[in-house]
Amino acid sequence: MWRGGSVVLLSAASCLAMTASFYMTPSRIVITGIGLTAPNGNSLAEFRQNLLNGVAGVERMEIRYMGTQLAGVCHFDPLKYQKKKEVRVGTRAGSISIYCAREALADSGVAWDSIPKDRVGIYIGCTEHGNVETENEIYNVSKFNYDTKFWSHYHNPRTVANNPAGEASLNLGVTGPAYTIGAACAAGNMGLIHAAQMLRLGEVDFAICGGVSESIHTFGIFAGFKSQNALATHEDPQKASRPFDLARNGIVISEGGALYTLERLEDAQARGAKIYGEIAGYHVNSDASDYVLPNPTRQAECVRAAIKRAGLEPHDIHIVNTHATATPLGDIQECEAIRSVFGEGCPDTYINNTKSFIGHAMGAAGALELAGNLPSFDDKVVHPTINVDNLDPQCALPNLVLNQPKQVARVDTILNNSFGMLGINSTLIVRRFAA
């Protein structure tokens, strides 16, 4: 390798030692900022308060071709960070990304103007992107006898898969890598995992990451779940999302987003940043068994691998935030996976579910659900799973926190599960920060 005009030759052994050192002592990655919009809150404080007070965020919404459906709708103000024209030209996912990214940056306290923007990465998980905009354009040209000369010139920039991250990069002036990670409903965790990997590789020095979803604006998602007999119905919207309850009848689809600022520990400490927690471990795997049916064996493998990577044992995990979406079979299978990992020997492990409040925020789910639990490091309260009137015996797990928040002795670790179609599983573990 060239150094100042002279040739420095490294032996193969030296190279191997350097490589091993790089990978065996990875940088510690910490969370330093959170921005979110959920159906029951537009900030972490509001979201958390509603999770502790049992306030859900599901409402009735008119869906094209389908009439009134239940959905988790966010009520943030896009104009807080965008011009009207940007909202008109862009996408809902773009607006959610921009809102969450700006809120996270403000929360992080970072001196944004002084950060080299080419060293910032934006990594946003999405279940899907482009359905909303494509459906809108087809509806539009249907009014013109399907004449494609009425098709919008904004269709392509709106529907490219990187749109949500790209709109954030435009708004923030970020010139580093900005792209989305397609991982079905495992994507929210994936945004954080990918950011941690990129920070450790030295690809970027500052990351904005997590997940977003605009899925309530596409009738196709609703119609697809309905055809699959997996769309929730209930006369009371607030009780419609009911994982683990015997009367659960499917998913409440939601929009939302949660983006985090992640930094290497030394960088965060150098600027005196507030630290929410440390990325302790993670794992991603695939079922390779079915398009839609989950596979509890692979889910359990994913959870075990994440715990092992964190250097922990199952009994060291204090909160398990489940992915459970309130489908009859899916909940049982995740419970089977959790039971196989945690069994009866984990008296300090508490289990909850956030979708019972906000429905299934798809690509944002994992990121939002982690955010809702992070304050437990401070208040040692585990938010409950609400709407469980009759616990399904097949979902009965030790320390499942039902309907009321639970004060516990300690919360040092949070394990967050997010699983998705085509059998992608992601588990992320965050630990209380200790220098």
Residues marked as catalytic = 185, 323, 360
Check if the beta carbon of residue 55 is closer than 8 Å to that of residue 274.
no
Closest to other proteins by CB, 89 or 275 = 89
- Tokens for 254? 């939601």
Classify 48 as helix, strand or coil: helix
Closest to other proteins by CB, 98 or 306 = 98
Residues 432 and 53: their CA atoms lie apart, in Å, by 24
Nearest residue to 32 (alpha-carbon basis) of 373, 268, 282, 366? 268
Classify 417 as helix, strand or coil: strand
**How far, rounded to the nearest angstrom, does the alpha carbon of residue 16 sit from its chain's CA centroid?**
36
- Tokens for 30? 């910490």
Enclosing H/E stretch for 182: strand 178-182
User: In angstroms, what is the minimal distance from the CB of 88 to other proteins?
Assistant: 7
User: In angstroms, what is the minimal distance from the CB of 90 to other proteins?
Assistant: 12
Nearest residue to 170 (alpha-carbon basis) of 212, 100, 107, 122? 122
Classify 120 as helix, strand or coil: strand
Closest to other proteins by CB, 87 or 305 = 87
Residues of this chain that interact with other proteins (CB under 8 A) are 83-85, 88-89, 144, 149-150, 152-154
Would you put residue 343 in left (φ > 0), alpha (ψ -120 to 50) or beta?
left
Query: Tell me, what DSSP letter sits at residue 4?
Result: T
Closest to other proteins by CB, 49 or 152 = 152
Closest to other proteins by CB, 86 or 267 = 86
Closest to other proteins by CB, 23 or 150 = 150
User: In angstroms, what is the minimal distance from the CB of 152 to other proteins?
Assistant: 7
- Tokens for 46? 């509001």
User: In angstroms, what is the minimal distance from the CB of 168 to other proteins?
Assistant: 19
Residues 421 and 185: their CA atoms lie apart, in Å, by 7
Rg over alpha carbons for the chain, rounded to the nearest Å, is 22
* Count of C-beta atoms within a 10 Å radius of residue 414: 24
Closest to other proteins by CB, 23 or 144 = 144
User: In angstroms, what is the minimal distance from the CB of 384 to other proteins?
Assistant: 43
User: In angstroms, what is the minimal distance from the CB of 150 to other proteins?
Assistant: 6
Q: How far is CA 212 from CA 46, 122, 177, 330, 343, in A?
A: 18, 12, 17, 22, 33
User: In angstroms, what is the minimal distance from the CB of 319 to other proteins?
Assistant: 44
**How far, rounded to the nearest angstrom, does the alpha carbon of residue 126 sit from its chain's CA centroid?**
9
Residues 388 and 377: their CA atoms lie apart, in Å, by 25
Residues 283 and 299: their CA atoms lie apart, in Å, by 10
